[in-house]
């Protein structure tokens, strides 16, 4: 049984609103460590990286320019080192965000580690957004909308250099729950050939079908994969505390089913959870939902 290494990534600078840097502590306050231990898991908590939020007064950037790339790159480099250290100890890194830029650190560490043990990794992206923007396509310049593009080798050199040339394969990448894609971002999705299951697909074919196909995409030969979980994939009636909610999301039961199927598969070797923003939440409800779902992905069942 792998030890779960909890790593707090207190970054909010890549998001349009302050508060995401408070996410790791809010998730811990919802009982994450205690509940994982009740499942019989070995848990080590590596604490948080120093918080990184937008400075006051904020810097001025020209319209649609990438915002705070150097500051984010420095933070993500430190986070990458922590995730890589956990993987090298044969632990399962569970990275708590923080905005979704954290995935660039999680994934660059995972790509490096898998290369060192000669395994070809996959990627499952559970998110309302495709996060496949680049500096040229993003309407906002917010880096939290770019991590998947960077992980697939597209984007600003300051960010893609984190990967040292070891990118994830678009053909082993699946996005589930997406319902908001920017116009130019859509072109890149098609160009790369990423497998996408929209909310329409979930409504039409069911979550079970979509997850099975996503697992076939990310782990066709039983290879390890990374799971990146953005809480805004959940409908905002269940998870209101996030910066970029989109109506018509995954229900809580559908999300549990998704996580239970990931647990049954057993090949998720690294996980991050992003975009919990306590300043936008109600009584820490979103953190509690995140913990419920993390319990499922680590094996909790009803009976």
Predicted local confidence at residue 302, as pLDDT: 75
Predicted local confidence at residue 303, as pLDDT: 66
CA atoms within 13 A on the CB side of 301: 7
| CATH superfamily membership of 4-297 | Ureohydrolase domain (3.40.800.10)
Task: Characterize 262-286 residue by residue with b for buried, 16 or more Cβ atoms within 10 angstroms of its Cβ, and e for exposed.
Answer: bbebebbbbbbbbbbbbebbeebeb
| Cis, peptide link before residue 150, omega less than 30° from 0 | no
Q: What is the pLDDT of residues 125-168, one digit of tens each?
A: 999 999 999 999 998 999 999 999 999 999 999 999 999 999 99
Q: How far apart are CA 50 and CA 17, in angstroms?
A: 18
Q: What is the pLDDT of residues 58-68, one digit of tens each?
A: 777 777 789 99
Instruction: State the Cα torsion 218-178-77-28 to the nearest 10°.
Output: -100
Predicted local confidence at residue 1, as pLDDT: 67
Contact 149, 287 (CB under 8 A): no
Predicted local confidence at residue 176, as pLDDT: 98
**Close Cβ partners of 6 (under 8 Å, ≥ 6 residues apart):** 28, 32, 33, 43, 44, 45, 46, 94, 96
Predicted local confidence at residue 93, as pLDDT: 98
Enzyme catalytic residues: 100, 127, 129, 131, 144, 230, 232, 275
Q: How far apart are CA 19 and CA 278, in angstroms?
A: 6
Q: What is the pTM of this model?
A: 0.96
Residues of the chain with pLDDT under 70: 1, 56, 303
- Stretch (H or E) spanning 195: strand 195-198
**Axis crossing angle, helix 252-265 with helix 207-218, rounded to the nearest 10:** 40
Predicted local confidence at residue 60, as pLDDT: 76
Predicted local confidence at residue 59, as pLDDT: 77
- The domain spans of the chain are 4-297
Q: How far apart are CA 146 and CA 242, in angstroms?
A: 17
Contact 106, 124 (CB under 8 A): no
Q: What is the DSSP letter of 5?
A: E
């Amino acid at each position: 049984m792998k030890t779960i290494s909890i790593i707090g990534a207190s970054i909010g600078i890549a998001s349009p609103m302050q508060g995401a840097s408070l996410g790791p502590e809010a998730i811990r306050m919802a009982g994450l460590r205690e509940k994982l231990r009740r499942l019989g898991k070995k848990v080590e908590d590596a604490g948080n990286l120093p918080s990184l939020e937008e400075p006051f007064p904020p810097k001025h950037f020209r319209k649609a320019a990438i915002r705070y790339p150097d500051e984010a790159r420095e933070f993500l480099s430190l986070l990458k080192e922590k995730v890589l250290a956990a993987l090298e100890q044969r632990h399962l890194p569970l990275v708590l965000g923080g905005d979704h830029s954290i995935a660039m650190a999680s994934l660059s560490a995972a790509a490096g580690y898998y290369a060192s043990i000669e395994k070809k990794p996959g990627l499952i992206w559970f998110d309302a957004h495709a996060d496949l923007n680049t500096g040229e396509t993003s309407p906002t310049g917010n880096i939290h909308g770019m991590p998947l593009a960077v992980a697939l080798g597209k984007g600003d050199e300051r960010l893609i250099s984190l990967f040292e040339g070891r990118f994830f394969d678009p053909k082993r990448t699946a996005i589930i729950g997406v319902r908001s894609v920017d116009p130019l971002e859509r072109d890149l999705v098609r160009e790369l050939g990423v497998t996408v299951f929209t909310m329409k697909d979930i409504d039409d074919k069911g979550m079970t079908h979509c997850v099975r196909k996503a697992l076939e995409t990310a782990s066709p030969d039983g290879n390890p994969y990374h799971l990146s979980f953005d809480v805004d994939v959940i409908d905002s009636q269940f998870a209101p505390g996030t910066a970029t909610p989109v109506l018509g999301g995954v229900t809580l039961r559908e999300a549990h089913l998704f996580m239970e199927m990931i647990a049954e598969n057993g090949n998720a070797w690294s996980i991050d959870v992003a975009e919990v923003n306590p300043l936008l939440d109600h009584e820490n409800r979103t953190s509690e939902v995140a913990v419920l779902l993390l319990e499922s992905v680590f094996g909790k069942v009803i009976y």
